[in-house]
Chain A
Amino acid sequence: MEDMNQPSKYVIETRGLNIFYGDFQAVKDISLQFERNRITAIIGPSGCGKSTVLRAFNRMNDFVPSAHATGEVLYHDQNINHPSVDAVQLRRLIGMVFQKPNPFPKSIYDNIAWGAKMNGFRGNTDDLVEETLRQAALWNEVKDNLKKSALALSGGQQQRLCIARALAVRPEIILMDEPCSALDPIATLKIEDLMRELSQNYTIIIVTHNMQQAARASDYTSFFTMDTDRAGIMVEYNETSLIFTKPKDQRTEDYITGRFG
């Protein structure tokens, strides 16, 4: 049993995780540990199953009818792939930010309040909205327009709103699925600064296409690629600085030097 006063160093851990879409094996035998209050990046070429693995951590693959997983994803000593695990409760603890900003077609205020209220928040909503918007470095830009539709914001602002919305439900882990791929470089840097800020209180796992982003913003990096069956495999996992300076595997080196992918 885990001692709550001395939480384990790893907040989430996969052991021999395989994910299938129908008969097609999308990822093969992934074993990874994610350290608490650190930013871990998953990089790799398109189609190597990075997002699939990320979406396994909060069971978002449940909504893909053909998807199923074997192996273990351990979170607080429970295998979340087990049928007895309540995926709704799991997603309240593990938040997610998606590739394309997807705010609700509601006001900025309601975007944040909705999820929090659903998660049982009964305090002062005004304070919560201000606090999370400040955490997401968006407050100063929107404080006079909280009743405005979230869709009127720019892409970068929308994405920070989506981060604020995820923070408002007080998750332990934030999964980010290529959160900057639809954003311009300035908005991207803002999100990266924000991630650094948030990592003091949250564990962040980010999937990214952008190697510079992984190099700049993450503490650990895991490199994925495809094997000959086009299934995603994990090649190398290490501290980010080591992955980018002294990769152990030739495939990693080829990828980060731009010879592949």
Chain B
Amino acid sequence: MENTARITEKRTATAWKKPVSYNLQKKTRPTEAIIQAFLLFCGVVSILTTLGIVLELGKEAWLFFGDPEISVISFLTGTEWQPKIGKFGVLPLLNSTLITSVIAIVVALPLGIATAMFLSEYASPKMRSILKPILEVLAGVPTVVYGYFALTFMTPLLRGIFGSQNVDVYNMASAGLVMGIMILPLISSMSEDALSAVPRSLREAAYGLGATRLETALQVVLPAALSGIIAAFIIGVSRAVGETMIVAIAAGSGPNFTFNPFNAAETMTGYIARISGGDLSYNTPDYNSIFAIGLLLFLITFGLNILSRAISRRFREVYE
């Protein structure tokens, strides 16, 4: 009793008195509810948008494939894309998309991982604080600028090296190389995150056994960061496959089926960009074909995303 009295006295002595209520009945807290509803709404909007895009693509693609003269098989296996004479074989477009993307990845992956490795394992904090913003600037350049960079810098360079009779004015190599420069910051920054996330204790374990910096970086840190690097690689590929402006400007505008990267060949995205800018009437097979291509592109990037998720999940929990 005496104790309680003293505590009460102490309480009243301070300016603030805590309102005590023993009513444990559930209360409604309107602000909480409103904010929660708003957040849910934002999430739902993005899901609905995605669904809407898929539905629209699917609907128009359905119209395209509904044409009795066009079949999914001939679309996927045909080697000629001549809408004027009713030939809708997507392989030439797909082929040049793949070639430009492969060139881009061949440039961006090794350079990106090397950059990431340098930033995470070798660079001093000062060096990193200079290099990272520069890389981020590279990521912020509009792709149309990259497109003209390919056309007015990379193409003349390639023509100078390999001879202008061998290299077309519009060509896949130039577009692919510049696309590689474009996705380089993406790959290097994602890989750097993956490398930096490897616990310091693992590096110390390696150094403690007498490993050099290179041995530690290549044989301990890199394998431990592999899942993140694979994810970076796949996102880089999706980015390259979906890139439009660079290839539209620099890769050419004829759907050629060629494996020579120095030739001009239109990519899927390049074709879509060109056609949508022209004056095609609605509901012609030409017009609908861009939705079929769009759907195919969507399926490719969607597949790559699923793959990247599966891979990161598989390799996660490698450390700690």
Q: Which A residues are closer than 8 A to B by beta carbons?
A: 58, 60, 63, 65, 88-89, 91-92, 95-96, 98, 100, 102-106, 114-115, 118-119, 151, 162, 165-166, 169
**A115-B319 in contact (CB<8A):** no
Residues in B whose Cβ lies below 8 Å from that of A92 = 209-210
Closest CB in chain A relative to B88 CB, distance in Å:
49
Chain A residues, Cβ within 8 Å of B212:
88
User: Please, what's the 1-or-0 string for B196-225, where 1 marks a CB less than 8 Å from any CB in chain A?
Assistant: 000101111111111110010001100110
In this complex, the member of B208, B318, B319 whose beta carbon has the largest number of chain A beta carbons within 10 angstroms is B208
Please indicate the chain A residues that have their CB under 8 angstroms from the CB of B320 in the complex. 151
CB neighbours of B318 from chain A (8 A): 105, 151
CB distance B209 to A102 under 8 Å? no
User: CA separation between A185 and B317, bound complex, in Å?
Assistant: 27
Looking at the complex, which one of A89, A106, A166 makes contact with B209 (CB distance below 8 Å)? A166
CB <8 Å contact, A96 and B208: yes
Bound together, the chains give a CA A162 to CA B204 distance in angstroms of 12
Which residues of the other chain, A, contact B199 by a CB distance below 8 angstroms? Answer: 102
Min distance, Cβ A48 to any Cβ of chain B, angstroms: 21
B208 touches A166 (CB 8 A): yes
Contact with A along B121-146 (1 / 0, CB 8 A): 00011000000000000000000000
Known contacts A91-B208, A92-B210, A104-B206, then 17 further A-B pairs from the complex at CB < 8 Å, ordered by chain A residue:
A63-B203, A63-B204, A88-B211, A92-B209, A95-B208, A96-B204, A96-B208, A98-B208, A104-B205, A104-B220, A105-B202, A105-B223, A105-B318, A105-B319, A118-B209, A119-B210, A166-B208
Task: Kindly list chain A residues whose C-beta atoms are within 8 Å of the C-beta of B215.
Answer: 118
| 12 pairs, A vs B, C-beta closer than 8 Å | A96-B204, A98-B205, A102-B199, A102-B205, A105-B318, A105-B319, A106-B223, A114-B209, A115-B211, A119-B209, A151-B317, A151-B318
Whether B202 contacts A65 by the Cβ 8 Å rule is no
Report Cα–Cα, A119/B199, bound state, in Å.
Answer: 23
Interface set of B (CB-CB < 8 Å, partner A) = 124-125, 199, 201-212, 215, 219-220, 223-224, 317-320
List residues of chain A with CB within 8 A of the CB of B203.
63
Which B residues touch A119, using CB under 8 A?
Answer: 209-210
**Assembled-state Cα–Cα distance A20/B72 (Å):** 72
Alpha-carbon gap, A213 to B207, bound state (A): 27
CA distance A65 to B223 in the complex (A): 25
Within the assembled complex, what's the spacing in Å between the Cα atoms of A115 and B204? Answer: 13
A102 with B201: CB separation less than 8 A = yes
A95 to B208, CA, bound (A): 6
Query: Which of B124, B205, B210, B317 is packed against the most chain A CB atoms within 10 Å?
Result: B210
Known: A98-B205, A102-B199, A104-B202. Contact between A151 and B210, CB under 8 A?
no
The residue in chain A whose Cβ has the minimal distance to the Cβ of B125 is A65
What are the residues of chain B within 8 A of A89 when measuring CB–CB?
210
Closest to B317 in A: A151
A118 lies within 8 A of B210 (CB):
yes
Helix, strand, loop or mixed for chain B's interface?
helix
CB-nearest residue of chain B relative to A59? B207
Most chain B Cβ neighbours within 10 Å, of A115, A165, A169: A115
Q: Is the CB of B223 within 8 A of A114?
A: no
With A114-B219, A118-B215 as known contacts, state yes or no: A91 contacts B210, CB within 8 Å.
yes
Q: Which residue of A118, A151, A162 contacts B205 across the interface (Cβ within 8 Å)?
A: A162
Nearest A residue (CB) for B220: A104
B209 A165 Cβ-Cβ under 8 A: yes
A102, A105, A106, A115: the one within 8 Å of B210 (CB): A115
Complex CA distance for A141 and B201, rounded to whole angstroms: 25
Chain A residues with CB under 8 Å of B125's CB are 65
For residue A103, which residues in chain B have a CB less than 8 angstroms away from its CB? 205
Q: Which residues of A contact B319 (CB under 8 A)?
A: 105, 151
Roughly how many angstroms separate A141 CA and B237 CA in the complex, as a whole number? 45
Contact present for B208 and A58 (CB under 8 Å):
yes
Q: Which residue of B lies closest to A89 (CB)?
A: B210
Which residues from chain A contact B208 at a C-beta distance below 8 Å? 58, 60, 91, 95-96, 98, 166
Cβ-defined contact, B205 with A169, below 8 A: no
Contact, CB under 8 Å: B209 / A98: no
Measured CA separation A103–B125 after assembly (Å): 27
Per the bound structure, the CA–CA distance linking A105 and B223 in Å amounts to 9
Given A104-B220, A105-B319, A114-B219, A95 and B204 touching (CB < 8 A)? no
The 6 residue pairs across chains A and B that have the minimum distance between CB atoms: A92-B210, A115-B209, A96-B208, A102-B201, A105-B318, A91-B210
Complexed CA–CA distance, A209 and B199 (Å): 24
Contact of B224 among A60, A105, A166 (CB under 8 A): A105
Chain B min CB distance to A86 (Å): 10
Query: Does B224 contact A98, Cβ atoms closer than 8 Å?
Result: no
A91 partner residues in chain B, CB cutoff 8 A:
207-210
Smallest CB-CB separation from A151: which chain B residue? B319
- Complex contact A95–B209 (CB within 8 A): yes
